Structure 1
């Protein structure tokens, strides 16, 4: 049975990723592909619409999330990929530290009903601590091979950029996120038929912050590897993540706005 893990790393600039020591993301890219792209112009460059597009395979005009307030969303019509997988009888897992992804805060949750949810409040604890808590849980839980689809969120890079800009502390946060990805991947290395996707939602201005369309705010990227991941998927976008996950799991994705990797 296939297994899919999506790592959502919040707010990682493309140029910082290139400068950082990120051997685990690099290894995913080398085994599959790495592609950068501009965030869609259909909503501000914010986490809410970007992660909702990643999770649903639909654009903001359809899913209804245009900012970091999720009220008025259409997730009942266009649910996240974990919910769709669970409806198909598969076991799903989410590890989350941003409240609207996991709770009713600000009109959420985005991921409405995973089989197992690991949640730590990044705002209350700080994302460095909260991320590690859920990564530790993901390491233990996913190592069993009992879950078919997973989403693991890492929020510290975005939090650091907002606090102090995109200097050395931000680069260090990106490197810590890569190590956390590696922690989980080491625990699941024994699984056959594993697809790994690493995606960021947006970048940042030099001083920290996003929402506009300056060069480093609007750049996002995806790295992916796995049995059905093409090595030459040069044209991808946020909306392609959910359909690729579900296609790997044998589900119909013909009604989604995005397409599986390599089909654009």
Structure 2
């Protein structure tokens, strides 16, 4: 039996900042499932391009060929993003993003080649706060009413603020705004007329962290530490071993009912631990935080 999956990627969120910030919506995801920190692969610098490509393809940089923020030399034709794979197999997919290489030809992209519906807001042209909000608004409308099987929503403001201002109060505020946008999209999914009979799995993931003064690409503790949170259908109460960026793609395919024995090229394994026997037992709504 197939389900639905929403993956929210929030760029450049340090785990220690996340723990100190007020993030009730991500806290609710963790309370309904788990949140796990992990160390980035040493296969590439701690940059957005390689890590989001690993999220999207389920492969390490040495295979997908993206080692920096310019995607020249990629092998995406041979190893496409999982949402393109899902669409080719008849599933409806949604991608919303504010960083151009993810969804345009700039810098050798796109990473996500051909979703059923694409929402793009240029963070550099519009400002990253506004662009993230535009994408969150579109995602809430589309996922709240449309028939999408798999979705990826990217929010980039925290990373940009850290680059410009470091990891102080402005950065924490940007992380909290990202959490509110996460909550907006989750609320729209919960409000779907058929949600009670649907089987939704939710993943939230960051790509890398930052140095105190802002910036990344090295191997200091907070640059190399990422995290992934999960809840919903098939997600157990504790994180499985081996959680990493390459866990996302096989989880997407597993939620969609694809036989992972035919996906042996993937570097990671699915995060699902079970599938409920009936829709009524599928997944309680991600709890809405009190007072938010």
Question: When the two structures are superposed, what TM-score results if normalisation uses the length of structure 2?
Answer: 0.88
1:256 paired residue number: 266
**Residue 145 of structure 1, CA deviation:** 4.0
Is the aligned partner of 1:143 residue 2:150?
Answer: no
1:174-213 matches, within 5 Å, as 174-189=175-190, 190=192, 191=195, 192-213=198-219
**Residue 234 of structure 1, CA deviation:** 4.2
1:217 paired residue number: 223
**Residue 29 of structure 1, CA deviation:** 1.0
Is the aligned partner of 1:240 residue 2:240?
Answer: no
Are the counterparts in 2 of residues 14 and 216 from structure 1 also a CA contact under 8 Å?
Answer: yes
Task: Provide runs of 4+ in structure 1 moved above 3 Å.
Answer: none
Is the aligned partner of 1:110 residue 2:83?
Answer: no
Query: CA–CA distance in 2 between the matches of 1:41 and 1:14?
Result: 19
Deviations 1:165-209 (A, max 9, x none): 000000000000000000011111042211110000000000000
2:154 paired residue number: 153
Are the counterparts in 2 of residues 8 and 198 from structure 1 also a CA contact under 8 Å?
Answer: yes
Q: Report the number of matched residues.
A: 263
2:287 paired residue number: none
Query: CA–CA distance in 2 between the matches of 1:226 and 1:56?
Result: 22
Deviations 1:106-137 (A, max 9, x none): 00000000000000111111211111011100
SS in structure 2 opposite 1:113?
A: coil
**Residue 254 of structure 1, CA deviation:** 2.9
**Residue 230 of structure 1, CA deviation:** 1.9
The structure having more radius of gyration, on CA atoms, is 2
Are the counterparts in 1 of residues 254 and 272 from structure 2 also a CA contact under 8 Å?
Answer: no
SS in structure 1 opposite 2:35?
A: strand
Query: CA–CA distance in 2 between the matches of 1:74 and 1:247?
Result: 23
2:41 paired residue number: 40
Are the counterparts in 1 of residues 35 and 230 from structure 2 also a CA contact under 8 Å?
Answer: yes
Deviations 1:234-258 (A, max 9, x none): 4300000111111110123332111
Structure 1 alignment gaps of length 5 or more:
none
Structure 2 alignment gaps of length 5 or more:
274-292
Query: CA–CA distance in 1 between the matches of 2:128 and 2:83?
Result: 23
Query: CA–CA distance in 2 between the matches of 1:69 and 1:48?
Result: 7
Query: CA–CA distance in 2 between the matches of 1:262 and 1:147?
Result: 20
SS in structure 2 opposite 1:95?
A: strand
**Residue 81 of structure 1, CA deviation:** 1.0
Query: CA–CA distance in 1 between the matches of 2:138 and 2:271?
Result: 29
2:94 paired residue number: 93
Q: Kindly report the root-mean-square deviation, in angstroms, between the aligned alpha carbons of the 2 structures.
A: 1.1
